[in-house]
């Protein structure tokens, strides 16, 4: 192949979970991977214009990224992520996303569209990758090697996450090859920031929630910072098995942080209209309340003014500080926090 | 043990017959009202879908009547309904209600798993169970048959409300009937009465199909009596789902030759090529099916934030473009004012009527309602 094929990957949704795997896989097969830029106002506006009103913000932003990248690539990577593990789905919208995009957007380049459905077993997951690979190579061995290489890189990515990095930092480390300075300021409080990865790690979407919390003196733990086996073990204690992968991980992490680790509060970041979160956030809040753990729910939408979020986060952090210093029966929920 | 269950349209008639046939004490929650909804809204998560909010209201009102056990279906996702049982239990616990929860998980293989579940609850003989199931099933089918007839008459009757009066009366009789023969004769009487309702032969009738999420389609309170409003506007309504066909598809494994949503699932491709949980694929497929059957308009109803229906909503305009039947989406939430809904329905029915009855306008491009 003289000129390598340009494969476009939208920087949204599962980019924050699986990008190293996808990138390494395509690059090993000789493709050039093109990623849309970090979400910005233009991308958001394009997404909001093209998608249905009721879709959640991450899906709208995904539309925007697809719009941005579609004319700049030869092939668009648009998988149908039904399930990435046994007996658990991701979200109904993910299952219909390729059909939604195809219905709503015109002028799409050729699309790599495979169904990734590991609900009945992990083998289907690998099979989906072989189907993707067949766009680039007819050699089974080559695709197999690409899969192995990609999987290795993904494992390193996940190790980095567990050692305390966030996905964007970890992707940066994998690309540049050296670890940056980990910001080691003294943290007054340890906080768990929970939510779907594509919500909390997209700085534009989350209105820099993580950055603001750090500036307010918080050390931040997320779902991705916990090893998967610990999360699975804690999530297995739920009275009914949770059938959304992300939901299960968030609940597992929440229970872990509530039970064992020394955190001072939970910040749950969700988006308007997120189906799974409407239940998981509520369950997390209930579990947190029963243990007297401070909890705040931040719901985001297209509104892009940061001040409101900052005010609420400040109030939350102040409350944590005061409850440590002044009195130990300071209300951690209900009137004081919920109303603002 | 006093058993209760959430309302969903006429489900209570069959559910009551089934559970009473198993010698269980049943508390039917009071019919859904604004108070039911308010109670649910107060205690449910803000962005949860409407059915859960109404369910909670049902449970709280049933508890006032002495219920202490809830029976509800489970699920394996990806629709939120699968986790309803758990979240509802947590909420009721936090509110201090002492409810026991019986969850009927969907059968993996056959109807006999449901029977086994039932036997675990009720200590009674196989014969009793079969009788109870038969009576419940008969009631379910008869109710649906009468309802279909009512949907026809509503659009045509010259004095609105007569058909609904007969329907209401029939439901009451079916509920109190014990034996098969009684039920059949109630059905015959209802049909005779409905056939005698004076109709206006000059009315320009349009046929509107309702597709969408099962709860909002089946529960008139959740869809603000959309069928009655459409009937008054001269629209004959058909739904993509009736309780009997749903039970046949999902609990009896489709053994009976009733209308099935399987065909709809097949027709959903190439618009939607995968199941998306809930009734998303059925919605898309039914829209295609009804378009090809010559319906004049299609209305999708769903609870706000319902994921599967959002996928379907995004795809429906494409179906309009290729099949040529107007489509409108209406989301149901806690807003209970009917005027806005009626205005939208009027506009939609007017539009479909104009397409149908004035030849020369039919070439005009009609945007989505």
Q: Is A265 among the domain residues?
A: yes
Among A124, A242, A279, which would you mutate to test the B interface (most chain B Cβ atoms within 10 Å of its Cβ)?
A: A279
With respect to residue A178, please indicate whether it lies within any of the assigned structural domains: no
CB within 8 Å: B77 and A89? yes
Q: B94 and B14 in one domain?
A: yes
The per-residue pLDDT for range B2-13, each reduced to its tens digit, is: 999 999 999 999
Determine the residue of chain B that is closest to A246 in CA distance.
B78
What residues of chain B lie within 8 A of the CB of A277, using their CB?
47
Residues B97 and B193 placed together within one structural domain of the fold: no
In a domain, A228, yes or no: yes
Contact B314 A92 (CB under 8 A): no
Q: Are residues A136 and A161 in the same domain?
A: yes
Check residue A2 and give its pLDDT.
52
Q: Which CATH number goes with the domain that contains B11?
A: 3.40.50
The pLDDT value given to residue A337: 46
Mean pLDDT score of chain B, rounded to an integer? 90
Q: Judge if B285 and B249 occupy the same domain.
A: yes
DSSP class of A187: P
Residue numbers in B near A51 (CB within 8 A): 314
Query: Are residues B183 and B100 part of one domain?
Result: no
Q: Are residues B53 and B6 in the same domain?
A: yes
Query: For the purposes of burial, counting CB atoms within 10 Å of the CB of A184, is it exposed (0-12), middle (13-18) or buried (19 or more)?
Result: exposed
> Among A311, A278, A159, which residue's Cα sits nearest to residue B46?
A278
Domain match, B239 and B314 both: yes
Residue ending a domain, among A146, A173, A200, is A173
H helices of chain A, in order, are 15-28, 41-50, 57-69, 92-104, 123-133, 140-162, 167-176, 197-200, 209-215, 228-235, 245-259, 275-290, 307-325, 335-338
* Last residue within a domain, chosen from A173, A192, A210: A173
Q: Which positions in chain A touch B51 (Cβ < 8 Å)? A: none
Final residue in a domain of this structure, among B180, B203, B226: B203
pLDDT digits (tens, 9 = 90+) for B275-292: 998 899 999 999 999 999
A90 interaction partners in chain B (CB closer than 8 Å): 78
Distances (CA, A) of A127 to A75, A117, B234: 20, 10, 53
Cβ B156 vs Cβ B194: under 8 Å:
no
pLDDT (0 to 100) of residue A339: 40
Same domain, residue pair A198 and A299 = yes
| For chain B, percent of residues with pLDDT exceeding 70 | 95
The reply to whether A99 touches chain B by the CB within 8 Å rule is yes
Least CA distance to B48: which residue of chain A? A278
Q: How many CB atoms lie within 10 A of CB A153?
A: 18
- A235 near B CB under 8 A: no
Least confident of A283-287, A297-301, B107-111, B116-120: B107-111
Name the closest residue on chain A to residue B269, using Cα atoms: A99
**Residue B356: Cβ within 10 Å count:** 16
Q: Do A100 and B314 touch (CB under 8 A)?
A: yes
CB contact under 8 A, B86 and A240: yes
Residues of B with CB below 8 A from A283's CB? Answer: 86-87, 90
Average pLDDT for residues B262-270, to the nearest whole number?
88
**B45 vs A240: CB contact, 8 Å cut-off?**
no
- The residue ranking higher by pLDDT, A13 or B357, is A13
- Phi first, then psi, for residue B96 (nearest 5°) are 90, 10
Distance from CA of B273 to the nearest CA of A (A): 7
Task: Judge if A148 and A204 occupy the same domain.
Answer: no
Whether residue B167 sits in one domain with residue B96: no
At residue A135, the pLDDT reads 85
Contact A13, A62 (CB under 8 A): yes
User: For residue A93, is it within any domain?
Assistant: yes
Q: Kindly state whether A281 is in contact with chain B, defined as any CB-CB distance less than 8 angstroms.
A: yes
Q: Do A159 and A15 share a domain, yes or no?
A: yes
Closest Cα of chain A to B323: distance in Å? 14
Interchain CB contact of A29 with B (< 8 Å): no
Q: Are residues A191 and A215 in the same domain?
A: yes
- What pLDDT does A324 receive? 67
* pLDDT (0 to 100) of residue B247: 86
Whole-number Å distance between alpha carbons of B161 and B145: 19
In this structure, what are the phi and psi dihedrals at residue B204, rounded to the nearest 5 degrees? -85, 105
Q: What domain count does chain B have?
A: 3
Closest-CA distance, B271 to chain A, in angstroms, reads: 7
CA A117-A121-A122 angle, 5° bins = 80
Residues of A in contact with B311 (CB under 8 A): 92-93, 95-97, 99-100
Helices (H), B33-125: 34-43, 50-64, 84-95, 111-121
Contact A271, A58 (CB under 8 A): yes
Assign B118 a pLDDT band (cuts: 50, 70, 90): confident
Does the beta-carbon distance from A89 to B277 stay under 8 Å? yes
Among the listed residues B90, B9, B101, the one whose alpha carbon sits nearest the alpha carbon of residue B45: B90
Boundary residue ending a domain (A148, A173, A198): A173
Q: Are residues A153 and A17 in the same domain?
A: yes
Q: Is A186 helix (H, G, I), strand (E, B) or coil?
A: coil
B131 is a domain residue? no
Q: What does the CA dihedral B355, B360, B365, B369 come to, rounded to 10 degrees?
A: -20
Q: With the C-alpha atoms ordered B79, B83, B87, B89, is the resulting torsion angle positive or negative?
A: positive
Q: Which residues of A touch B317 (CB under 8 A)?
A: 103
Range(s) of the domain holding residue A272: 183-338
Do A160 and A214 belong to one domain?
no
Would you say residue B51 lies in a domain?
Answer: yes
Query: Cβ A278–B318 below 8 Å, yes or no?
Result: no
Which chain B residue shows the shortest CA-CA distance from A113? B273
Q: Which residues of B touch A (CB under 8 A)?
A: 45-49, 74, 76-80, 82-83, 85-87, 89-91, 94, 103, 271-278, 280, 304-308, 310-315, 317-318, 331
Residue A249 CB: number of other CB atoms within 10 A?
A: 25
Q: What is the CATH number of the domain that holds A279?
A: 3.40.50.11900
Contact B48 A242 (CB under 8 A): no
Decide if A309 contacts A209 (C-beta within 8 A).
yes
Overall domain count for chain A: 2
Residue B48 with chain A: CB contacts under 8 Å: 278-279, 282
Residues B210 and B190 in one domain: no
Best residue of A85, A119, A240 to probe chain B, by most B CBs closer than 10 Å: A240
**Same domain (yes/no): A162, A207:** no
Does residue B148 share a domain with residue B111? Answer: no
DSSP 8-state code for residue B199: B
Do residue B235 and residue B361 come from a single domain? yes
Task: Report the 10 Å Cβ neighbour count for B352.
Answer: 23
| Same domain assignment for residues A127 and A270 | no
| Nearest residue in A to B95, CA atom | A286
Which residues neighbour B175 within 8 Å (Cβ) at sequence distance 6 or greater? B13, B16, B17, B139
Query: CA-to-CA distance for A150 and A159, rounded, in angstroms?
Result: 14
Q: Is residue A46 part of a domain?
A: yes
- If asked whether residues B194 and B90 sit together in one domain, one would say no
Are B188 and B209 members of one domain? no
Q: Does A283 lie at the interface with B, CB-CB under 8 angstroms?
A: yes
Please state, in angstroms and rounded to a whole number, the distance separating the CA atoms of residues B171 and B166: 9
Residue of B nearest to A276 (CA): B80
At residue A258's C-alpha, the angle toward residues A252 and A261, to 5°, is 100
The total number of residues written for chain A in this structure: 340
Q: Characterize A65-74 residue by residue with b for buried, 16 or more Cβ atoms within 10 angstroms of its Cβ, and e for exposed.
A: bbbbbbeebe
Calculate the alpha carbon distances from A11 to A162, A166, A203 in Å: 22, 15, 12
For residue B303, the surrounding DSSP H or E stretch is strand B297-303
Q: pLDDT tens per residue, chain A (340 residues)? A: 457 899 999 999 999 999 999 999 999 999 999 999 999 999 999 999 999 999 999 999 999 999 999 999 999 999 999 998 888 999 999 999 999 999 999 999 999 889 999 888 888 888 888 888 888 888 889 999 999 999 999 999 999 999 999 999 999 999 888 776 666 666 788 999 999 999 999 999 999 999 999 999 999 999 999 999 999 999 999 999 999 999 999 999 999 999 887 899 999 999 998 999 999 999 999 999 998 899 999 999 988 889 999 999 999 999 888 876 665 555 555 554 444 3
CB contact under 8 A, A96 and B274: yes
* A45/B contact by beta carbon, under 8 A: no
pLDDT for A165: 92
- Counted across chains A and B, CB pairs separated by less than 8 A come out at 122
In a domain, A1, yes or no: no
Instruction: Kindly state whether residue B129 falls inside one of the protein's structural domains.
Output: no
What Cα–Cα distance (Å) separates residue B218 from each residue in A316, B162, B221, B244, B363? Answer: 43, 21, 9, 11, 35
Tell whether A301 lies on the interface with B, counting CB pairs under 8 A.
no
At residue A340, the pLDDT reads 39
For B46-63, the pLDDT digits (tens) are: 999 999 999 999 999 999
H-state helical runs in chain B: 11-21, 34-43, 50-64, 84-95, 111-121, 126-156, 162-176, 180-195, 214-218, 226-232, 243-250, 262-268, 280-292, 307-323, 339-357
Task: Please state the pTM of the whole predicted model.
Answer: 0.91
**Which residues sit opposite B210 in a β-bridge?**
B239, B299
For range B236-250, the mean pLDDT: 90
Identify the domain boundary among B176, B203, B230.
B203
Pair A28, A134 in one domain: yes
Query: Contact, B79 vs A243, CB < 8 A?
Result: no
Q: Which helix (H) or strand (E) holds B301?
A: strand B297-303
The shortest CB-CB distance from A92 to any of B91, B271, B278 is to: B278
* Model pLDDT, residue A333: 57
**How many Å lie between the alpha carbon of A228 and the closest alpha carbon of chain B?**
21
Same domain, yes or no: A101 and A196: no
- The domain boundary, picked from B71, B101, B124, lies at B124
- Which domain, by its residues, includes B162? 137-203
Q: Is B126 helix (H, G, I), strand (E, B) or coil?
A: helix
Residues A73, A136 within the same domain: yes
């Amino acid at each position: 192949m003289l000129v390598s094929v340009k494969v476009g990957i939208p920087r949204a949704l599962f980019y924050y979970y699986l990008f190293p795997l996808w990138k390494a896989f395509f690059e090993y097969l000789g493709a050039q991977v093109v990623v849309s830029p970090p979400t910005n106002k233009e991308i958001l506006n394009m997404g909001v214009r093209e998608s249905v009103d009721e879709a959640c913000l991450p899906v709208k932003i995904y539309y925007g990224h697809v719009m941005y990248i579609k004319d700049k690539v030869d092939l668009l990577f648009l998988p149908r992520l039904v399930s990435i593990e046994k007996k658990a789905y991701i979200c109904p919208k993910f299952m219909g996303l390729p059909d939604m995009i195809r219905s709503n957007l015109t002028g799409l380049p050729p699309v790599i569209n495979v169904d990734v459905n590991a609900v009945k077993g992990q083998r289907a997951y690998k099979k989906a990758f072989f189907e993707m690979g067949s766009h680039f190579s007819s050699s089974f061995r080559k695709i197999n090697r690409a899969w192995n290489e990609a999987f290795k890189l993904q494992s390193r990515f996940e190790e980095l996450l567990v050692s305390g990095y966030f996905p964007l930092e970890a992707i940066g480390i994998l690309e540049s090859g050296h670890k940056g300075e980990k910001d080691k300021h003294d943290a007054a409080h340890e906080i768990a920031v929970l939510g779907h990865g594509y919500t909390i790690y997209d700085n534009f979407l989350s209105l820099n929630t993580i950055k603001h919390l750090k500036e307010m003196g918080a050390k931040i733990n997320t779902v991705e910072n916990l090893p998967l086996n610990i999360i699975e073990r804690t999530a297995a204690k739920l009275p009914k098995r949770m059938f959304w992968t992300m939901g299960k991980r968030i609940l597992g992490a929440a229970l872990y942080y509530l039970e064992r680790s020394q955190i001072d509060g939970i910040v749950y970041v969700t988006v308007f209209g997120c189906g799974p979160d409407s239940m998981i956030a509520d369950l997390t809040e209930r579990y947190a309340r029963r243990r007297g753990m401070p909890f705040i729910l931040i719901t985001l939408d297209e509104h892009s003014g940061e001040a409101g979020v900052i005010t609420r986060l400040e109030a939350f952090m102040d409350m944590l500080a005061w409850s440590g210093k002044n009195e130990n029966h300071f209300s951690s929920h209900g009137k004081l926090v919920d109303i603002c | 043990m006093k058993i209760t269950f959430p309302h969903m349209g006429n489900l209570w008639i069959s559910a009551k017959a089934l559970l009473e046939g198993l010698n269980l004490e049943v508390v039917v929650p009071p019919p859904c009202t604004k108070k039911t909804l308010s109670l649910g809204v107060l205690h449910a998560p803000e962005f949860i879908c409407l059915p859960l909010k109404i369910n909670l209201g049902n449970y709280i009102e049933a508890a006032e009547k002495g219920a202490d056990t809830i029976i509800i279906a489970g699920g394996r996702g990806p629709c939120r309904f699968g986790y309803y049982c758990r979240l509802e239990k947590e909420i009721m616990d936090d509110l201090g209600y002492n409810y026991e929860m019986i969850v009927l998980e969907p059968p993996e293989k056959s109807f006999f798993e449901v029977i086994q579940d039932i036997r675990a609850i009720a200590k009674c003989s196989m014969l009793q169970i079969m009788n109870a199931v038969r009576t419940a099933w008969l009631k379910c089918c008869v109710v649906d048959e009468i309802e279909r007839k009512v949907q026809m008459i509503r659009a045509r009757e010259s004095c609105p409300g007569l058909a609904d009066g007969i329907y209401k009366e029939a439901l009451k009789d079916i509920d109190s009937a014990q034996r098969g023969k009684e039920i059949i004769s109630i059905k015959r009487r209802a049909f005779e009465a409905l056939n005698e309702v004076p109709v206006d032969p000059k009315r320009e009738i349009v046929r509107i199909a309702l597709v969408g999420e099962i709860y909002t389609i089946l529960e008139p309170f959740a869809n603000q009596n959309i069928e009655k409003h459409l009937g008054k506007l001269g629209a004959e309504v058909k739904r993509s789902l009736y309780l009997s066909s749903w039970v046949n598809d999902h609990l009896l494994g489709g053994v009976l030759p009733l209308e099935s949503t399987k065909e709809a699932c097949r027709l959903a491709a190439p618009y939607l090529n995968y199941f998306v949980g809930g009734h998303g694929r059925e919605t898309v497929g039914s829209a295609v099916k009804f378009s090809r059957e010559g319906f004049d308009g299609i209305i999708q109803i769903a609870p706000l934030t319902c994921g599967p229906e959002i996928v379907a909503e995004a795809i429906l305009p494409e179906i309009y473009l290729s099949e040529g039947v107007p489509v409108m989406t209406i989301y149901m939430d806690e807003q209970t004012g009917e005027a806005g809904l009626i205005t939208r329905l009027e506009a939609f029915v007017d539009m479909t009527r104009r397409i149908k009855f004035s030849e020369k306008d039919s070439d005009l491009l009609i945007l989505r309602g």
